[in-house]
């Protein structure tokens, strides 16, 4: 699983570097606007940048922390489908977490900039709705073993 996680995490890190640059450009464009909105954009770029650097430069440490970076010999790389699914769940969970965090922070910055969210619940409801996929992504990252076991158990039943 070392090779699969390492390759996937480094590629995800490269994509997050791109997003960091996009968020920094957005922050530069908002520099003369509301300082709270600028602060949220800078926070988003900082979080994205840190995650990108961790994934690219400290891949082994991240994998060990998440429990998916087990050492294996080359012949045992893809020993079990559960391990492959577990790595996929972790990588997708990290991606979804950062994307939903960005959406949540964009809603907050829009509200701070004075955008009115019409309809039932307004901005508070939209923020609460964004919190659900954020929490699910965190669960997928931190409990990827459980998620992978459930997925592969379902696949074996069909």
pLDDT at residue 6, rounded to an integer = 86
Average pLDDT over every residue of 121-133: 82
* Cβ neighbours around 69 below 10 Å, total: 19
d(CA 46, CA 116): 27
Element (H, E) at 68: none
Q: Is the pLDDT of residue 73 over 90?
A: no
Helix (H, G, I), strand (E, B) or coil at 132: helix
- Structure confidence by residue, pLDDT tens digits, 16-49: 999 999 989 988 887 777 788 888 888 999 999 9
10 Å CB burial of residue 118 (0-12, 13-18, 19+) is exposed
Contact 34/112 with Cβ under 8 angstroms? Answer: yes
The rounded distance, in Å, linking the Cα atoms of 41 and 24 is 7
Distances (CA, A) of 122 to 21, 30, 112, 113, 131: 30, 24, 13, 15, 15
For 1, the token pair is 């699983």
pLDDT at 146 over 60: yes
- The alpha helices in the chain, defined as continuous H runs, are 2-29, 35-57, 59-66, 81-112, 122-142, 144-157
- In eight-state DSSP terms, residue 33 is S
Q: What percent of the chain has pLDDT over 70?
A: 88
Answer yes or no: is pLDDT of 1 > 60.
Answer: no
CB atoms inside a 10 Å sphere around CB 13: 20
């Amino acid at each position: 699983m070392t090779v699969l996680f390492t390759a996937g995490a480094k590629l995800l890190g490269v994509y997050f570097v791109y997003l960091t640059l996009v968020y920094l450009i957005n922050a530069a464009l908002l520099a003369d606007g509301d300082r709270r909105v600028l602060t949220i954009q800078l926070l988003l770029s900082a979080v994205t940048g840190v995650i990108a650097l961790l994934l690219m430069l400290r891949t082994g440490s991240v994998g060990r922390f998440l429990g998916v970076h087990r050492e294996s010999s080359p012949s045992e790389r893809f020993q079990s489908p559960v391990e492959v699914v577990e790595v996929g769940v972790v990588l997708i969970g990290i991606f979804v977490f950062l994307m939903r965090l960005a959406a949540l922070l964009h809603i907050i910055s829009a509200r701070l900039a004075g955008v009115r969210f019409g309809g039932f619940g307004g901005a508070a409801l939209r923020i609460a709705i964004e919190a659900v996929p954020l929490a699910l992504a965190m669960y997928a990252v931190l409990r990827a073993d459980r998620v992978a076991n459930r997925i592969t158990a379902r696949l074996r039943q069909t």
